[in-house]
């Protein structure tokens, strides 16, 4: 115990002295969070619509007026050719062309019904779908008003009450998860493989140090750093984006620590296997990159192809992100996320066995 603590104190001191590494271990996750937080990828935002009113009569003005009153739509007046150019550059989501001699009047037999042309940007299908639906609804309402018929079916619109989920609320737990993974795997693997190559571990193994104590000291050092990192990220999330952690900080930290320990075992396994520093990034990327994309960091884990979803749902980072997100967003307790915690523990045992098998001090 005393040996572990003394080694830990010195390792931590050395780690904290490496300002560059420390800076980057904080700045990269912060950058990710700020960039993605302000990008607001998931926030649906508004649908930008251009209107080319070629009719300019009372009816068209009435239609434009109604559309302008809808909050979701961001309207601009633009001639068709200009609007189409913008549309191709995805600077616009939709273009509505109101043809000449547009009229809102009951249809008379033998007369053509006025046609509104709607162009949509294929690159933003969700926005276009919403926009089309709104336009269709507006036209329906206008038709009802003119034809004096009541709608056959009424739709009562309700919004789900509760905490309004913004993208940044979704994002923060994901960023936490991915950083716990990166720090644990990269910092352990790089540092220990470097120590191995430079002969540091050989020199240490020439002393009667107890190996479990040395490993524990390394683990403790990383846990302290990880805790600090999680705290800083949370602080920025709370201050800059006023993220609410519904389930409270304590369970969040517990799950974060469990995740750290899990990924540390993987880092040690990697460090045990690799013989040169050049092997580390390749294998570490192989482990982390799929999880980066399929474990629901920046977008829902359901974005993964359905075929591989049964696998991606069991990835360590998926379990960690799910647990962090349920606590942070839905206010889950540790008991509520027991399935994920169990999954994390199973991965930890697997990682530990792998680390012990691959990490042989005699090899140095």
- Contact present, 39 and 164 (Cβ < 8 Å): no
Strand partners, 118: 96
Least distance to another protein from the beta carbon of 71, Å?
56
> In the structure encoding, which two tokens stand for residue 209, read together?
């140090």
Q: Which residues, 6 or more positions from 280, have their beta carbon under 8 angstroms from its beta carbon?
A: 186, 189, 190, 193, 270, 271, 274
* Cβ atoms within 10 Å of 357's Cβ, excluding its own: 11
- Kindly tell me which of 109 and 208 has the beta carbon lying closer to another protein: 208
**What DSSP state is assigned to residue 150?**
P
Report how far residue 68's alpha carbon sits from residue 84's, in angstroms, rounded to the nearest whole number.
20
Least distance to another protein from the beta carbon of 360, Å?
12
- Kindly tell me which of 10 and 66 has the beta carbon lying closer to another protein: 10
Strands 94-98 and 117-120: antiparallel
Report how far residue 310's alpha carbon sits from residue 183's, in angstroms, rounded to the nearest whole number.
26
- Kindly tell me which of 7 and 171 has the beta carbon lying closer to another protein: 7
- Kindly tell me which of 3 and 227 has the beta carbon lying closer to another protein: 3
- Kindly tell me which of 13 and 68 has the beta carbon lying closer to another protein: 13
- Kindly tell me which of 205 and 232 has the beta carbon lying closer to another protein: 205
Strands 117-120 and 47-53: unpaired
Least distance to another protein from the beta carbon of 184, Å?
18
Least distance to another protein from the beta carbon of 362, Å?
8
**What DSSP state is assigned to residue 308?**
G
Least distance to another protein from the beta carbon of 199, Å?
4
Report how far residue 131's alpha carbon sits from residue 73's, in angstroms, rounded to the nearest whole number.
7
37 phi and psi angles, rounded to 5 deg:
-65, -45
List of residues contacting another protein (CB under 8 A): 2-3, 6-7, 10-11, 13-15, 17-18, 191, 195, 198-200, 202-209, 214, 362
Q: Which residues, 6 or more positions from 318, have their beta carbon under 8 angstroms from its beta carbon?
A: 291, 294, 295, 296, 301, 312
Least distance to another protein from the beta carbon of 206, Å?
4
Least distance to another protein from the beta carbon of 36, Å?
32
Least distance to another protein from the beta carbon of 222, Å?
14
- Contact present, 138 and 66 (Cβ < 8 Å): yes
Least distance to another protein from the beta carbon of 159, Å?
55
Maximum Cα–Cα distance across the chain: 101
One DSSP character per residue, 9-26 reads: HHHHHHHHH-HHHHHHHH
- Kindly tell me which of 89 and 210 has the beta carbon lying closer to another protein: 210
- Kindly tell me which of 97 and 188 has the beta carbon lying closer to another protein: 188
- Kindly tell me which of 139 and 205 has the beta carbon lying closer to another protein: 205
Of 171, 255, 254, 272, residue with least CA distance to 218: 272
């Amino acid at each position: 115990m005393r040996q572990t603590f003394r080694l830990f104190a010195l390792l931590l001191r050395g780690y904290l002295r490496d300002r560059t590494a420390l800076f980057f271990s904080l700045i990269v996750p912060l950058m990710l969070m700020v960039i993605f937080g302000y990008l607001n990828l998931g926030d649906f935002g508004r649908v930008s619509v251009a209107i080319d009113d070629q009719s300019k009569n009372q009816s068209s003005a009435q239609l434009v007026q109604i559309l302008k009153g809808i909050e979701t739509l961001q309207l601009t007046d633009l001639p068709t050719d200009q609007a189409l150019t913008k549309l191709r550059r995805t600077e616009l989501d939709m273009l509505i062309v109101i043809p000449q001699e547009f009229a809102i009047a009951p249809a008379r037999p033998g007369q053509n019904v006025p046609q509104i042309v709607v162009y949509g940007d294929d690159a933003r299908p969700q926005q276009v779908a919403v926009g089309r639906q709104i336009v269709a609804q507006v036209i329906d309402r206008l038709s009802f008003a003119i034809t004096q018929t009541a709608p056959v079916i009424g739709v009562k619109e309700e919004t789900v009450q509760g905490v309004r989920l913004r993208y940044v609320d979704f994002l923060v737990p994901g960023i936490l998860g991915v950083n716990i993974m990166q720090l644990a795997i990269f910092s352990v693997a790089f540092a220990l493989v470097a120590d191995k190559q430079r002969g540091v571990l050989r020199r240490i193994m020439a002393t009667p140090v107890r190996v479990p104590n040395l490993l524990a000291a390394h683990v403790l050092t990383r846990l302290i750093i990880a805790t600090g990192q999680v705290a800083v990220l949370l602080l920025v999330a709370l201050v800059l984006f006023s993220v609410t952690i519904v389930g409270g900080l304590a369970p969040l930290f517990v799950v974060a620590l469990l995740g750290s320990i899990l990924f540390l075992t993987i880092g040690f396994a990697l460090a045990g296997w690799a013989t040169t520093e050049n092997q580390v990034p390749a294998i570490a990327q192989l482990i982390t990159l799929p999880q980066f994309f399929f474990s629901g960091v920046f977008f829902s884990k359901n974005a993964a192809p359905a075929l591989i979803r049964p696998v991606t749902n069991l990835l360590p980072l998926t379990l960690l992100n799910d647990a962090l997100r349920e606590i942070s967003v839905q206010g889950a307790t540790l008991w509520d996320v027991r399935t994920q915690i169990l999954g994390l523990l199973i991965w930890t045992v697997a990682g530990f066995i792998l680390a012990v098998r691959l990490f042989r001090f005699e090899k140095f």
